[in-house]
Amino acid sequence: MVPGLIKEIGGGNPVALISSINIGAHLVDSSPLSTLGALCIACAGEHEDKAKLFRNLLIWGLSMSVVGAIVCWLFFGILGF
């Protein structure tokens, strides 16, 4: 997947792209659209508001995708790690 993406964007560092994909995948792991997030909602107690839990996990997942993109851009784009 990575060589094809690098070819499409016109060059880049494969290690930085692989690291960015890995970081992004781990940061959004608790989104309600993932297996872990769905398990969190399914295992919530009766006293929990599952709609609020879904919304909070969705906000967390979306915000972490933005934070992950900024962190990867900073480390691999600006600092050149």
Per-residue pLDDT at 52: 93
Q: Is 33 helix (H, G, I), strand (E, B) or coil?
A: coil
Question: 26, 55 in Cβ contact below 8 A?
Answer: no
Q: What's 1's DSSP letter?
A: -
pLDDT reported for residue 55: 94
Give the mean model confidence (pLDDT) for residues 60-80: 85
Using alpha carbons only, give the angle 69, 75, 23 rounded to the nearest 5 degrees: 45
Contacts of 59 (CB under 8 A, 6+ apart): none
Please give the Cα distance from 55 to 39 (Å, whole number).
Answer: 15
- pLDDT digits 0-9 by tens, 29-68: 778 888 888 898 999 988 999 999 999 989 988 888 888 8
Task: Say if pTM beats, i.e. exceeds, 0.85.
Answer: no
Q: What is the overall mean pLDDT for the chain?
A: 86
CB contact burial 10-36 (16+ within 10 A = b; e otherwise): eeeeeebbeebeebbeebbebbbeeee
24 pLDDT tier (thresholds 50, 70, 90): confident
